[in-house]
Amino acid sequence: MQLGMIGLGRMGRDMVRRLMDKGHQCVVHDSRAQAVDELRGQGATGAASLQEFVAALETPRAIWLMVPAAVVDGVLQSLLPLLAAGDIVIDGGNSYYRDDIRRAEELRKQGLHYVDAGTSGGVFGYERGYCMMVGGEPETVQRLAPIFAALAPGDAAVAPSPGREGHATTAEQGYLHCGPHGAGHFVKMVHNGIEYGMMAAYAEGFNILRHANAGKQARQDDAETTPLRDPQFYQYDFDLPEIAEVWRRGSVISSWLLDLTARALDEDPVLERYSGNVSDSGEGRWTVMAAIDTAVPAPVLSSALYERFSSRHMGDFAGKVLSAMRQQFGGHVERKS
Amino acid sequence: MQLGMIGLGRMGRDMVRRLMDKGHQCVVHDSRAQAVDELRGQGATGAASLQEFVAALETPRAIWLMVPAAVVDGVLQSLLPLLAAGDIVIDGGNSYYRDDIRRAEELRKQGLHYVDAGTSGGVFGYERGYCMMVGGEPETVQRLAPIFAALAPGDAAVAPSPGREGHATTAEQGYLHCGPHGAGHFVKMVHNGIEYGMMAAYAEGFNILRHANAGKQARQDDAETTPLRDPQFYQYDFDLPEIAEVWRRGSVISSWLLDLTARALDEDPVLERYSGNVSDSGEGRWTVMAAIDTAVPAPVLSSALYERFSSRHMGDFAGKVLSAMRQQFGGHVERKS
Amino acid sequence: MQLGMIGLGRMGRDMVRRLMDKGHQCVVHDSRAQAVDELRGQGATGAASLQEFVAALETPRAIWLMVPAAVVDGVLQSLLPLLAAGDIVIDGGNSYYRDDIRRAEELRKQGLHYVDAGTSGGVFGYERGYCMMVGGEPETVQRLAPIFAALAPGDAAVAPSPGREGHATTAEQGYLHCGPHGAGHFVKMVHNGIEYGMMAAYAEGFNILRHANAGKQARQDDAETTPLRDPQFYQYDFDLPEIAEVWRRGSVISSWLLDLTARALDEDPVLERYSGNVSDSGEGRWTVMAAIDTAVPAPVLSSALYERFSSRHMGDFAGKVLSAMRQQFGGHVERKS
Amino acid sequence: MQLGMIGLGRMGRDMVRRLMDKGHQCVVHDSRAQAVDELRGQGATGAASLQEFVAALETPRAIWLMVPAAVVDGVLQSLLPLLAAGDIVIDGGNSYYRDDIRRAEELRKQGLHYVDAGTSGGVFGYERGYCMMVGGEPETVQRLAPIFAALAPGDAAVAPSPGREGHATTAEQGYLHCGPHGAGHFVKMVHNGIEYGMMAAYAEGFNILRHANAGKQARQDDAETTPLRDPQFYQYDFDLPEIAEVWRRGSVISSWLLDLTARALDEDPVLERYSGNVSDSGEGRWTVMAAIDTAVPAPVLSSALYERFSSRHMGDFAGKVLSAMRQQFGGHVERKS
């Protein structure tokens, strides 16, 4: 099947390569000519402009956008006038699902079809396959089945859950039509919310292990700082890379994220190349907002998000307020770190 | 090698079976005669009493306790007088690491060796192998290597992290000597703390997905309850078992816990067989306490723990205080659920 | 000065009474005739319909809405066609500040002025005065100064902070022009977010005190529940009403909310008249969403909100997911509460 | 009545002054001779050594320790050999209540009485009076009633809660016998836990207000950072000192802590003299540990504590782990702050 791909960053490029490996034909476009050239060299039809891109696609066209969420509307504004009724536009990036609902309606008025395809897999997707959570009209999603099947890991990758015999679905290949417009990105949004929570669980755990030798450090006794009551219980110098590695085998917390953590710790046991300022890219925030809208308690997912905010010093003013209060009521002079 | 096992519950029994499958010889004891008989029928030497148990073991003995943390001290009290200098006692249960430090010192005075072996794997360990985090004297741990190697998944189970070539350790088999007495249970404690956090991340995520149809429910407008501002954005009826299944493939949040969740949801999509009262068994609490002792922020691990407490209605009085305050300052009459 | 009041619930009625006590003239309307009659009997001009209400007001009119946030737009729809250029509409309820921005723009097109006046004070406001956080055009807010001054506690109520001499503002009377449209409700929103956090701090604290006798309860030893390690440290039967009362004097945590808590506990020491299902009315949610939008960590305010959600059983499904996982990996049978 | 005071820091000195103002006689000791001299000049009997101090007190002695929690045991070791049966030692500092239980037992063996008196009030206590939460034997506490009554604010300071007529207790004066040994410090511990929660509620709220102009800042669009979707809603430049001041009047969140915050913000509106590294002095930690021991959910109090830890950069390694994971799975390059 033929697919047009706009956006040849890390994700878009590798998806095109995986599709071509599986025998699909790709037309590609990116504002960076070099990115287009690279894939042209690997068999794709490169397009220097959107006009050229659209012209190279057979109708009804299937066009996949793999661009930052913040620029999707801009791309659509340029792209839509060039399309014809029946064409399909897939947003595979990290759009907010509410934007999908709005865009689907806008495209529908023009006779176009919109599909939101939340895509997980990261830089390993080319080899491992991508997990896709899809929203849109059933028949449109169905038309794209060959594409999703090629991008997904496939049913040989992971055995189905025991008991699923007799009701096989595309979930077993690694993609799922989750519901109407926005459903794909909604599920992807929650997926990323969970991801933040899991990552934070590991991060906090390793941080505790790292400080398990706190009893070896001298502490001052004064009214400002509580002494460690039982320093004899915090005398462990743990080997974090080895612990991450052992947990990968037979433990309840084995996971792909742990595999990656073990790799990172093995390369750099104290992670000195990082400063610890952690970005967040939208889905974690939207997940928490969805929880709040629907009155669902989500303290773990929220805490994980806030740790990222704090890592970027966004809590500093709150700390100043606390120090100011302490100064006021107790005459406590702030200790410089 | 010969190993004595005390405690033939879920875990102890399966560990004995795995050891015997790998050619080790086991002497077993449990207060429930039936549990002893069952393993005797599978090739173990059954002992009806501790005396008989100790007598059946060659010196220096290696004795593994697999009993609830709360009864370890009681078992030791009966067992220690029967042992001889040089014997090894391994606590494979979920003891608090501080108890290990105390017990190791007590045993040391008697010429005995103590090893703490935090063991993860659950009911799947017999087939999958157990992940073991071990604390104790190096030579004692070394003596037990054949036992740990047999219980662990083995190096064929999971490929080492790329880049580890040239520095293979037992972590690649699935067990690790983490440090002196208590180190094994300390690492296992944090492991379980992380487990609580990961489980909660999934649980909150699925709960949000489950309420993604909140916009379909009629809501009343009054001063007590805020209406859902945008009901049109919460119209999704998600198929949770399918979503769990698709996430198992290629996604960033794939994990063994997710595999189990997918299985549970496939069997019972609305989990109607559960009431939602969640137990906690100590390690999660101790992990948070260790974080607090060492001033390490652990909001995700703590939140996960508190959700379990709340699920058991331990927050109800706090809710009453809140309702009483609202009644006082605003005349708000509490809405019955 | 003359003010029209629409909405004669707890708040609206008492505000009218306070205004009339201070010599202002009030025209009042409510869909409940009885509420209108009651205030007519106390000197207000009662209006049975919006038409009558508008007719009774001198132009340019000043009309205060004190109705549930969810019905403000409906009231405006009926009211606006009856008004004339130059009239002022004040929303004193708990509207979302984004609605203020939208409404202000709508009214502006009709030559009307909009003011958002977040109002705190509850059922005690009649005697104690109301704290008002106001947003809108400076000249419009200025025109309403006599109304705000009458509703506010006044500068005799609380001494200014030391050091404020020489820069007295209306804050010292108890109202503040916080900024343009929406600013009043934004500040009121955060005020309520803080209120949720403070209330939760007290509620959690009293809950801990209430369980300080946990060591007196028998506990079972099994693998599902961790025993209380040191029951001797939890043998206190605290007298909560007395503790609340003593904290009101000289302590760092004295506050008006504590005054109310002490009163509630004195009336009903175990709060048996409450079930503990705690409502939330919007501002707490919006505060957290504003924090997330601006990447400000707000774990305390969020936790307070989630405790309310949990108290209404919105976390139950998450608990079921946790129990299902535990069943799967550990064979743990859920304990019924 | 006569009281001996050991420890003449901020708190101890002012308590002596308040006691002398009320006609009590004080014998004072501190390792800093200057501190002793200062109070001697105000009428106290100064003692250069513990021996001199003990000799100057009439038997049975009443000795109040007002020293850092970490040095109480050291002081007791020097002091106890000098005392005689029947003497009373009061610990008025911030000791862990478990130490009280131990110390009371040690003193009991020597015929001495121990009282734990959790004391709140800070630098304002001299004028405002101290709130005291007392644990110990009833008759011993009773003997000290004149001291507690003099230190407490007294019943004229704050009106009793309505409805308390007919059952007046010492709580209305500002001190309370809370229960047996340790009860006073347990209640004080929870008091401080609540204090941390309240402080954090205000601090987070002011931080949100401070960032309410986030929409005015230019933001980049890239895949790493989610753009602010609705910058038009974050255009407010709030005057924090004025907002703190207005909330002091008639609002639900008025409190003594808010009074202090208003003062601090008036002096330094952006709090530039503080870095935001917030200390914690033990009680907040112990409160959370008590909650965990008794399975009481305390997410607000815990979050408040963790914000302090984070402010001291104790979460930095966790941030590095997160950045390392993001690098691994997504090739995300960490953004320097």
For chain A, what's the residue count? Answer: 337
A72-79 helix and A97-109 helix, angle to the nearest 10 degrees: 10
Q: Does B195 touch chain A (CB under 8 A)?
A: yes
Question: Please, which residues 1-40 of chain C have a Cβ atom closer than 8 Å to chain D?
Answer: none
pLDDT at C157 > cutoff 90 = no
Residue with tokens 């693998």: C223
DSSP C18-43: HHHHTT-EEEEE-SSHHHHHHHHTTT
Q: Does C79 touch chain A (CB under 8 A)?
A: no
> pLDDT for D84-126, tens place per residue?
999 999 999 999 999 999 999 999 999 999 999 999 988 899 9
Question: Please, which residues 301-320 of chain A have a Cβ atom closer than 8 Å to chain B?
Answer: 301-304, 306-307
The dihedral sign for the CA sequence D157, D162, D168, D174? negative
| CB C246, CB C266: distance < 8 Å | no
The dihedral sign for the CA sequence A260, A263, A269, A270? negative
Q: Which chain D residues have a beta carbon less than 8 Å from that of C242?
A: 169, 171, 176
> pLDDT for A288-319, tens place per residue?
999 999 999 999 999 999 999 999 999 999 99
> pLDDT for B9-62, tens place per residue?
999 999 999 999 999 999 999 999 999 999 999 999 999 999 999 999 999 999
Give which of B269, B20, B241 is closest to B150, Cα–Cα.
B20
> pLDDT for A220-233, tens place per residue?
555 566 678 899 99
Q: Which chain A residues have a beta carbon less than 8 Å from that of C252?
A: 329
pLDDT at A267 > cutoff 70 = yes
User: What is the pLDDT, as a whole number, of residue C218?
Assistant: 67
With residue B47 as reference, give the H or E element that holds it: strand B45-47
Name the residues of D annotated as catalytic.
Answer: 188, 195
User: What is the pLDDT, as a whole number, of residue C219?
Assistant: 62
Query: Quick check: B194 and A212 CB within 8 A?
Result: no
What mean pLDDT do residues A225-254 have?
A: 93
User: What is the pLDDT, as a whole number, of residue C281?
Assistant: 85
Chains touching chain D, criterion 3+ CB pairs below 8 Å: A, B, C
Task: State the best of C279, C302, C313 to mutate against chain A, taking most chain A CBs within 10 Å.
Answer: C302
Q: Does C326 touch chain B (CB under 8 A)?
A: yes
pLDDT at A129 > cutoff 90 = yes
User: What is the pLDDT, as a whole number, of residue A218?
Assistant: 67
With CA atoms as reference, the chain C residue closest to D154 would be: C249
Mean pLDDT of chain C: 95
Q: Which chain A residues have a beta carbon less than 8 Å from that of B18?
A: none
Q: State how far residue B49 is from chain A, nearest Cα, in angstroms.
A: 32
User: What is the pLDDT, as a whole number, of residue B334?
Assistant: 84
User: What is the pLDDT, as a whole number, of residue B95?
Assistant: 96
| CB D271, CB A321: distance < 8 Å | yes
Catalytic one of C22, C105, C172, C188: C188
| CB D301, CB D280: distance < 8 Å | no
Confidence of residue C312 (pLDDT cuts 50, 70, 90): very high
User: What is the pLDDT, as a whole number, of residue A323?
Assistant: 96
Query: Quick check: B322 and C200 CB within 8 A?
Result: yes
With CA atoms as reference, the chain B residue closest to A246 would be: B171
User: What is the pLDDT, as a whole number, of residue C222?
Assistant: 54
Rounded distance, CA B113 to CA B89, Å?
Answer: 6
With residue B286 as reference, give the H or E element that holds it: helix B283-293
Question: Please, which residues 276-295 of chain C have a Cβ atom closer than 8 Å to chain A?
Answer: 280, 285, 288-289, 292-293, 295
The pair of structure tokens assigned to A181 is: 């417009």
Confidence of residue C120 (pLDDT cuts 50, 70, 90): very high
User: What is the pLDDT, as a whole number, of residue B222?
Assistant: 54
With CA atoms as reference, the chain B residue closest to D312 would be: B295
Q: Does D231 touch chain C (CB under 8 A)?
A: no
> pLDDT for C195-219, tens place per residue?
999 999 999 999 999 999 999 986 6
Reduced to 3 states (helix: H, G, I; strand: E, B; else coil), residue B168 is coil
| CB B72, CB B95: distance < 8 Å | yes
Q: Which residue has the higher pLDDT, C58 or B165?
A: C58
pLDDT at C223 > cutoff 60 = no
> pLDDT for D116-155, tens place per residue?
999 998 889 999 999 999 999 999 999 999 999 999 999 8
> pLDDT for B147-167, tens place per residue?
999 999 998 889 999 988 878
> pLDDT for D310-334, tens place per residue?
999 999 999 999 999 999 998 888 8
Chains touching chain B, criterion 3+ CB pairs below 8 Å: A, C, D
Query: Quick check: C315 and A296 CB within 8 A?
Result: yes
The pair of structure tokens assigned to C303 is: 């936790």
Rounded distance, CA D131 to CA D152, Å?
Answer: 6
The pair of structure tokens assigned to B52 is: 């008989």
Instruction: Give pLDDT < 50 ranges for chain B.
Output: none
Rounded distance, CA A272 to CA B197, Å?
Answer: 25
Give which of A161, A1, D154 is closest to B248, Cα–Cα.
A161
CB-nearest to D309 from B296, B305, B312 is B296
Q: Does B58 touch chain A (CB under 8 A)?
A: no
Structure letter (DSSP) for residue A159:
P
pLDDT at C164 > cutoff 70 = yes
Cα torsion through D17, D23, D25, D31, rounded to 10: 0
Strand order of the β-sheet with D88-91 is D45-47, D25-29, D2-6, D62-65, D88-91, D113-120, D131-135, D175-179
pLDDT at A200 > cutoff 90 = yes
Question: pTM value?
Answer: 0.96
Task: Report the relative pairing of strands D88-91 and D113-120 from DSSP bridges.
Answer: parallel
User: What is the pLDDT, as a whole number, of residue A52?
Assistant: 98
Mean pLDDT of chain D: 95
**Long-range contact pairs involving D27-34 (C-beta distance under 8 Å, separation at least 24):** D27/D2, D27/D3, D27/D53, D27/D56, D27/D57, D28/D4, D28/D53, D29/D4, D29/D5, D29/D53, D30/D6, D32/D8
pLDDT at D337 > cutoff 90 = no
> pLDDT for C70-89, tens place per residue?
899 999 999 999 999 999 99
Confidence of residue D222 (pLDDT cuts 50, 70, 90): low
Q: Which residues pair with C254 in a beta bridge?
A: none
User: What is the pLDDT, as a whole number, of residue C224?
Assistant: 59
User: What is the pLDDT, as a whole number, of residue A143?
Assistant: 98
Residue with tokens 């003449």: D8
User: What is the pLDDT, as a whole number, of residue B166?
Assistant: 76
Q: Which residue has the higher pLDDT, D78 or B220?
A: D78
pLDDT at C292 > cutoff 60 = yes
The dihedral sign for the CA sequence D321, D322, D326, D327? negative
